[in-house]
């Protein structure tokens, strides 16, 4: 890209860098071409020193400007996310997006690998088939969200709220679900792999066809569980008898209805 096409704010830095380079080159040539004890040599060294100092200043200014640009870019991204409801297929891999408030967002097939969403509030989000490998969702609010077919391999979900969430056919291998809440959730044909469920609460949940045989941590059931012969349990765990589970029709609600429902539940 030519200097004429540089953004307005970057053009002065490019010019300054060019001047510094010219000073260093000039100083080097003058000092080497002069005698060991001459005014020319002293002048050359002075020019060279000025170029080095100028280069350091330009470098520092560039780093500060880059940091400012990064902050501005992050702020712009957050604004865009907070004002856009349809985020299907968006690529946010590796972004730092802690403490976001994005209720009811459409994030179908979103690329969220390695994304830091810790502490974010994403109730009633549509995350079907989203790529969430190694994502940070610690203490995130995902109540009422749909994660059908999502890949959460290696994700951090410590303390996450997954009440009313649908995790059916999702991949949860190596996921840290310690202290997570999965009350009134669906996890049908879900592959838990070696997920850590230490201290997690599972109750009034559908588990038909799910594989929990390799999970780590002590499985804690705090309410009715509906499962079938295809459900696989840890070898050392004696599951309670399967019970018919009744849940609210979350899939038939819109965001406003769901938030009103959660408010009633939370204040009961």
- The average confidence (pLDDT) of the chain is 85
**Is residue 143 a contact partner of residue 120, using CB atoms and an 8 Å limit?**
no
Q: Are residues 147 and 165 in the same domain?
A: yes
Helix axes 11-33, 39-82, angle to 10 degrees: 160
Residue finishing a domain among 46, 63, 79: 79
Of 58-72, 113-127, 230-244, minimum mean pLDDT range = 58-72
Structural domain span for residue 157: 85-268
Q: How many beta carbons lie within 10 A of that of residue 97, not counting itself?
A: 19
Residue finishing a domain among 57, 79, 101: 79
Q: What is the mean pLDDT of residues 111-135?
A: 98
Q: Are residues 52 and 134 in the same domain?
A: no
Q: Are residues 150 and 256 in the same domain?
A: yes
Question: How far, in Å, CA of 55 to CA of 150, rounded?
Answer: 49
For the chain, what percent of residues have pLDDT higher than 90?
68
Whether residue 145 is predicted with pLDDT greater than 70 in this model: the reply is yes
Residue finishing a domain among 44, 79, 114: 79
27 or 159, which is more confident = 159
Q: What is the pLDDT of residues 69-102, one digit of tens each?
A: 556 778 899 999 989 999 999 999 999 999 999 9
CA 236 → CA 63, 216, 221, distances in Å?
Answer: 56, 11, 14
């Amino acid at each position: 890209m030519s200097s004429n096409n540089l953004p307005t704010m970057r053009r002065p830095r490019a010019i300054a860098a060019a001047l510094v380079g010219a000073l260093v080159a000039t100083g080097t040539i003058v000092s080497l071409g002069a005698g060991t004890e001459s005014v020319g040599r002293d002048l050359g060294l002075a020019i060279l020193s000025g170029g080095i100092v100028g280069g350091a200043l330009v470098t520092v200014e560039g780093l500060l400007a880059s940091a400012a640009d990064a902050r501005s870019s992050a702020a712009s991204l957050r604004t865009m996310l907070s004002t856009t409801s349809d985020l299907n297929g968006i690529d946010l891999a590796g972004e730092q997006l802690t403490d976001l408030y994005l209720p009811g967002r459409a994030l179908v097939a979103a690329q969220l690998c390695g994304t830091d969403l810790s502490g974010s509030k994403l109730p009633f989000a549509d995350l079907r088939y989203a790529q969430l490998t190694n994502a940070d969702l610690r203490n995130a609010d995902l109540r009422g969200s749909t994660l059908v077919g999502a890949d959460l391999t290696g994700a951090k979900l410590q303390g996450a709220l997954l009440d009313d969430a649908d995790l059916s056919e999702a991949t949860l291998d190596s996921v840290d679900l310690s202290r997570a809440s999965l009350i009134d959730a669906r996890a049908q044909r879900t592959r838990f792999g070696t997920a850590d469920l230490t201290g997690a609460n599972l109750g009034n949940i559908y588990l038909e066809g799910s594989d929990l045989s390799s999970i780590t941590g002590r499985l804690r059931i705090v309410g009715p569980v509906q499962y079938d012969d295809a459900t696989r349990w840890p070898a050392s765990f004696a599951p309670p008898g399967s019970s018919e589970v009744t849940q609210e029709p979350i899939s038939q609600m819109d965001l406003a209805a769901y938030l009103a429902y959660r408010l009633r539940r939370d204040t009961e």
